[in-house]
Amino acid sequence: MLNEKQKKELLGLARVTIETYAKESIIHKYNPSDPVLSEKFGAFVTIHNNGKLRGCIGMIEGIQPLYETIIEMAIEASSGDPRFEPVMIEELKSIDIEISVLSPKKRVKSIDEIDLGRHGVIVKNGLSGGVFLPQVALETGWSKEEFMRNLCAGKAGLKPDAYKDPKTEIYVFEAEVFGEKETGEDKGKGDK
């Protein structure tokens, strides 16, 4: 979906947004020169500190320009993830940022259609729902059943076997995942 220049620009945008928000509590202003960054894609911003999850928030549906989603999700991942305290100024040089740009979701009839590691998965039943990005399967090493049980119970607040319920909707999507570690981005160390 994106070329290397676009990926680096989005990672730089996420980094500047997080730093500006942590230091000044203001939202970074940005105007993209590349029209692809104004297309509508869902996206997640994930923050790690020394290899440990520090925040992850995203938007599944592409309802606004990608660059706006990255700005919004960078702020949310760094200061609005209810599992963590906001990222502190002292942490900025030790965090790594990863972005997942999502394809449109597609409903599947059974978990047999899920390709672990390639597909992210959404489950929804009534008002409850949850999502795992594709990389969760690779990071955990879970079987497909373990993946679905953890998604249903741990993320969606459903019974572990809710994925077998005909009322549960299952969707898959793909994600282009890239991060500062892979691209060699600066990680905020340029302000020497």
Tell me the CATH number at 145.
3.30.1490.150
CA atoms of 37 and 34, how far apart (whole Å): 6
CA atoms of 112 and 114, how far apart (whole Å): 6
- Percent share of the chain, pLDDT over 90: 89
Same domain, 119 and 72: no
CA atoms of 15 and 19, how far apart (whole Å): 6
Q: Domain containing 119: what range?
A: 106-174
Same domain, 164 and 75: no
Q: Mark residue 111 as left, alpha or beta (left: phi above 0; alpha: psi -120 to 50; beta: remaining).
A: alpha
Residue 140, helix vs strand vs coil: helix
- Percent share of the chain, pLDDT over 70: 95
Residue 130's nearest CA partner among 100, 162, 102, 98 is: 162
Mean pLDDT in residue range 138-144: 92
Residue 39 confidence (pLDDT) above 60: yes
- What does the pLDDT read at residue 183? 60
CATH code at position 15: 3.30.700.20
Task: Indicate the number of domains in the chain.
Answer: 2
- What does the pLDDT read at residue 185? 53
Residue 46's nearest CA partner among 117, 115, 131, 154 is: 131
Same domain, 49 and 141: no
Residue 191 confidence (pLDDT) above 50: no
Flag the least confident range among 136-140, 157-161, 184-188.
184-188
pLDDT band at 1 (very low <50, low <70, confident <90, very high): confident
Per residue in 49-99, pLDDT (tens digit) is: 998 999 999 999 999 999 999 999 999 999 999 999 999 999 999 999 999
CA 58 to chain centre: 5
Same domain, 169 and 179: no
Q: Mark residue 136 as left, alpha or beta (left: phi above 0; alpha: psi -120 to 50; beta: remaining).
A: alpha
Per residue in 170-188, pLDDT (tens digit) is: 999 999 999 998 765 555 4
Mean pLDDT in residue range 23-39: 94
Residue 133 confidence (pLDDT) above 60: yes
